[in-house]
Chains A and B, each alone.
Chain A
Amino acid sequence: MAKPGIDLAIASDQDVVLEARAGRQAAYRELVRRYERPIFSLIYRMVRNREQAEDLSQETFVKALNAIESYRPEYKFSSWIFKIANNVSIDHLRRRELDTLSLDGSPHALTPEAIQASALQLGDRQETALEELEAKELGGEIEAAIATLRPEYRACILLRHVEGRPYEEIATMLDLPLGTVKTYIHRARGELRQALAHLRQ
């Protein structure tokens, strides 16, 4: 194992990556420590299930850290790992078709009955402690409104306003043209404005 070199706590991401590439285990741990909350939060808000979010976050880190040699230092490490996290989430959502479900029912449902039928019925059965926690964490109006967005819109708006990433970086992360990212964010804002209009009133 490589000898401890730089102080990882204050080193830049690029330097920590260099240490990781040299085989320093503490550097890998430092990268996990730095990004576990932002990555987990993004994925949790994308899939809205704690257990799945844990698994997908793990998958994200394992993919990123096992491929650390292929990371190109001219890009931000954060962009790289968020890109992997987004891919993992979108793949999962496509597989499970969770994008049409939300706590408030399908965004495609047009009648109150259809909304009711497509809503996740948390009160219908005995909730586990985990489900109670999820309902508490993601039960706010804004979280519920974000959940009704298309996954692509959701990823864009979260990266823009929760992570504070510039449009160009989001475009790089999601492999989308800059104009598309702007459109997604504007549409997402429009939908959220509508969904939360009653709050303002």
Chain B
Amino acid sequence: MTDHIATHLTPDELDNWLAGSLARNREAHLHACADCRRLADADRALAHLIGSLPLFSPAEGFGDRVMARVEIRHRARPLAIAAALAAGLLLPMAASVAWSLAYPETLTQLLQGAGSGIGGLGLAAVRSLGTTLLAQPWYPWVHGLFESPARLGLVFGASAAAYAGGVLVLRRLMALPMPRVAHVQG
């Protein structure tokens, strides 16, 4: 086995020495070995020399020139979106409740009138729609699809798959394109 004390410091150990974390037995070698000492001192001087190099500044207005080319995307925060949705739902509801409390008689009259009118109109519309539907040439075929539970399951499965596919396609289409960032080559 190699005598650990006798062998010269490896580059990693020189790094450890620079960082002040060289093992004690290797410190002993460093003190005893003139070659390692010379190398370590040279590395320390070099590190100090490079570390004391100044930072340079770009020409004035650099920030403005960068900002002129940066595309700032305004992304709404999740909290702001939630607040906007809540306000959009709650405000009309609150206004409606307040109006109802302020004018209860008017509301009652409106509801009674609308109820009878809308009821009659709605019934007529449903009847007309039903008659039209039954008269369509494709109605018996569609009706056939619902005659057995197996067919019904197939119809629902196909519909769910088509829906999920549509949602995925929409999400892909609506995703914002991301600019490419350079990566190290080789």
Contact = CB atoms under 8 A, between A and B. Distances in A.
A54 B182 CA distance: 18
B66 A67 contact: no
A63 B67 contact: no
B178 A67 contact: yes
A149 to B, nearest CB: 11
A57 B51 contact: no
Given A57-B58, A61-B66, A90 B184 contact: yes
A128 interface: no
Interface in B39-68: 42-43, 45-47, 49-51, 53-59, 62-63, 65-67
A1 interface: yes
A17 to B, nearest CB: 12
A25 interface: yes
Interface stretch (B73-81, B126-134, B154-162): B73-81
A107 interface: no
Nearest to B41: A200
Given A83-B184, A91-B182, A161 B57 contact: no
Contacts of B66: 32, 58, 61-62, 65
A31 B51 CA distance: 23
Contacts of B183: 83, 87, 175
Contact of B62 (A20, A54, A186): A54
B70 A157 contact: no
A66 B58 contact: no
Contacts of B179: 63, 66-67, 70
B73 A32 contact: no
B11 interface: yes
A174 interface: yes
Contacts of A67: 178-181
B45 A200 contact: yes
Contacts of A161: 46-47, 50-51
Interface string A177-194: 000001000100100110
A40 B182 CA distance: 17
A157 B15 CA distance: 13
B182 A87 contact: yes
13 contacts: A32-B62, A36-B57, A38-B55, A62-B70, A83-B183, A87-B183, A142-B50, A146-B50, A162-B55, A182-B11, A189-B43, A200-B42, A200-B45
- 7 smallest CB-CB distances across A and B, nearest first, come from A23-B74, A161-B50, A175-B184, A186-B11, A87-B182, A61-B66, A37-B55
